[in-house]
Structure 1
Amino acid sequence: MSELNSRIALLRRVPLSSLRVFEAAGRSGSFIQAAQELGLSPSAVSHSIRKLEGTIDLALFERTTREVQLTAKGQLLLEHVQRGLDEMHRGFALAHSNEPPPLRLHTAPSFATQWLMPRLGRFVQAYPHIDLRFSASTDYAKFDNDDFDLDIVYGEPRQTLHEKVPLAVEHLTPLCSPEVAERIHSPQDLHGHTLIQCEVQMLQWKGWFEANHLLPPHHYALRFDRSAMAIAAAVNGMGVVLESTLLAAGELEKGTLVAPLRALTHDIQYIGHYLVYPRRRTRHEAFEVFKKWLLDELGVR
């Protein structure tokens, strides 16, 4: 029998009621409390746990005369059983709800601030019936708990079981305010200006100088941990930032930032952001709508 068939056969032998008893006992750390919660006798809880342990051939609890405690395997199983029960509760709630579930989007902070937020109004106007829940942080979204439907991440995820779609090719080039640009006529002029870096950016000033066969400076006066802050510093005339024209598209369009050396140097091109989402047979009904809108806005075909 294959491993998959063995798992299916095992699940068929484990009744849902046994898993509910195990979850209550594992969560509370007490057969008595689990019995009170489920309206059973302590002996019925103990019998159900022993039957479950026999069925799956695992010791789930360490028992003493005064207490019970989960084994390491029991703790591992409890976490997955709890997620499974939570998913079933969520499914029942959604099935009984008359309102469509919200589309939960997670994104990298600077992408959210610099690119997505200025355009999100168009999505809301075009699809007012979609309840969009928006969150931004540097952490990757955890789809296991069903907290999010999709995630826009900075940098390619190294190892993931989820689907990942590369977004637009981004161009890194020196950007600054028009006033600062008046004093920049050649790449060598950069050595006389404050160079702003975003420390979490995959490609830094040193790489840009080397790609353009130029000697990089030894000192950088301003460093930020968010592209949005680095871009804002450049807008305020604090120096020259090496940044993505995608993230700085709004400032370039308004003219608060310019690219003084673009005709004289080579941009660094790379894919900076990815759309990530779990592999599921069924998806949120608004998922494909948002995905298509996002790719269309980015010009991705």
Structure 2
Amino acid sequence: MTRKLPPLAAVRAFEAAARKGSIKDAAQELCLTASAVSHQIRALENYLDTALFTRSGNRVELTLTGRAYARKLTALLDLFDETTRSVKEAGQKPFRVHCTPGFAARWLVPRLRQLAFGDRVRISVSNGAPSTDFASNGADVVIQWADAHIPGVVTEPLMQSARYPVASPALKEREKLREPQDLRRTTLMHDETMDAWEEWFEAAEIAPPAFPKGPTFPNCELATTAAEMGQGVALAYDAVVRGTLENGTLVRLFDTVTMPFVIYSVAYSVARKNDPMVREFSDWLHAQVQADGVSARRDLASSLASQE
């Protein structure tokens, strides 16, 4: 298909005048004379065969058609500018990812060497839910907890997971944890974010112990780390601790699991949805979790449709 596009110089002159509400101010922004800007706008009107401004002496005012056209052009030129910057700076600019400590330490960092631009990824972590205010968080992508929709943000469900008890091999032997009932007499690590021990005991069809019997941590990563140190049993997310189980610093206890749900999503500004590095990073994440068998891809289409 052959595109029929108006002259870019005329488009820029019109969009600046419409946004500034002034031919003179547009001329200053574009480093042109006011007459040059007026000439470009008239050239665009001739190209479109429609009036974009009404003129009365030195005053100009957008027509209804001009107002609608300007609104769309501003969004397109902003995207054009941001996309161009991302390509121009792709070889220099670090790619900033904001996520939880558990996702960073147990899932993302061990895999970064498999990402084409992994050496340029800069990771920041948050104790609570990472901020998705892209105007102030300094991030290109946020690995968001769960999959809540946020206006102005694209949220792609990434991975889902059930939870099960884990412990250090030494604690398992010391406490003689042979059956699910044995957890009623040992120290359990609790999680302020989403403690699910009652759900697990219910799934195991066992009466839970009196809660809390054990320390409470602000997030699941600290609870899991405490379990690695032999301080008790944590309720870990399968999708996050698989690597830790392979390393042998933790062992899984029993077959009972909680109901799986989406635990992490890829989030980024709507304005960045066509950014090549954002797309490559997101596609890489999805490919990794699909290979692990914990993908939430089947939830992605409906989630994105609800954000249109």
* Same fold flag (TM > 0.5): yes
Cα offsets for 1:60-100 (capped at 9, x unmatched): 9xx9x99x9xx997678634432233334655x48xxxx86
**Does 2:164 correspond to 1:173?**
yes
1:213 is matched with which residue?
A: 205
The Cα RMSD (Å) is: 5.6
1:268 is matched with which residue?
A: 258
Counterpart among 26, 30, 40 of residue 38 in structure 1: 30
Gaps of 5+ in 2: 296-308
Note the C-alpha offset of 1:195: 3.2
Instruction: Look up the SS of the partner of 2:189 in the other structure.
Output: strand
1:4 is matched with which residue?
A: none
Q: Which amino acid aligns with 1:81?
A: L
Note the C-alpha offset of 1:34: 2.8
* Structure 1: distance between partners of 2:44 and 2:94: 38
**Does 2:195 correspond to 1:195?**
no
Note the C-alpha offset of 1:217: 4.9
Note the C-alpha offset of 1:131: 5.8
**Does 2:236 correspond to 1:243?**
yes
Instruction: Look up the SS of the partner of 2:236 in the other structure.
Output: strand
Note the C-alpha offset of 1:246: 3.7
* Structure 2: distance between partners of 1:49 and 1:191: 77
* Structure 2: distance between partners of 1:266 and 1:79: 51
* Structure 1: distance between partners of 2:21 and 2:223: 50
Cα offsets for 1:254-274 (capped at 9, x unmatched): 443333x41xx5123636456
Q: Which amino acid aligns with 1:267?
A: V
**Does 2:175 correspond to 1:183?**
yes
Residue pair 1:24, 1:34 contacting (<8 A) in 2 also: yes
Note the C-alpha offset of 1:295: 5.3
Give the direction of change, closer, same or farther, for the CA distance of 1:51–1:217 in structure 2 (3 Å limit): farther
* Structure 1: distance between partners of 2:209 and 2:235: 14
Q: Which amino acid aligns with 2:245?
A: L
Instruction: Look up the SS of the partner of 1:209 in the other structure.
Output: helix
Residue pair 2:147, 2:155 contacting (<8 A) in 1 also: no
Q: Which amino acid aligns with 1:85?
A: D
TM-score by length of 2: 0.57
Counterpart among 70, 82, 85 of residue 86 in structure 1: 82
Q: Which amino acid aligns with 2:250?
A: L
Give the direction of change, closer, same or farther, for the CA distance of 1:257–1:18 in structure 2 (3 Å limit): same
1:298 is matched with which residue?
A: 292
Residue pair 1:235, 1:256 contacting (<8 A) in 2 also: yes
Residue pair 1:114, 1:248 contacting (<8 A) in 2 also: yes
Note the C-alpha offset of 1:235: 2.4
Instruction: Look up the SS of the partner of 1:195 in the other structure.
Output: coil
Instruction: Look up the SS of the partner of 1:35 in the other structure.
Output: helix
* Structure 1: distance between partners of 2:191 and 2:52: 51
Matches within 5 A, 1:82-161: 82-88=78-84, 90=86, 93=88, 106=97, 108-109=99-100, 110-121=102-113, 123=114, 132-135=120-123, 138-139=130-131, 154-156=145-147
Instruction: Look up the SS of the partner of 2:224 in the other structure.
Output: helix
Residue pair 1:103, 1:287 contacting (<8 A) in 2 also: no
Residue pair 1:106, 1:136 contacting (<8 A) in 2 also: yes
Give the direction of change, closer, same or farther, for the CA distance of 1:49–1:209 in structure 2 (3 Å limit): farther
How many equivalent residue pairs?
Answer: 271
Note the C-alpha offset of 1:48: 5.6
Note the C-alpha offset of 1:114: 0.7
Quick one: percent identity of the two aligned structures? 28
Give the direction of change, closer, same or farther, for the CA distance of 1:16–1:217 in structure 2 (3 Å limit): farther
Residue pair 1:102, 1:131 contacting (<8 A) in 2 also: no
Give the direction of change, closer, same or farther, for the CA distance of 1:136–1:80 in structure 2 (3 Å limit): farther
Note the C-alpha offset of 1:205: 1.9
Query: Which sits farther off after the overlay, 48-57 or 106-115?
Result: 48-57
Note the C-alpha offset of 1:242: 0.7
Q: Which amino acid aligns with 1:248?
A: V
Gaps of 5+ in 1: 1-7
Give the direction of change, closer, same or farther, for the CA distance of 1:177–1:163 in structure 2 (3 Å limit): closer
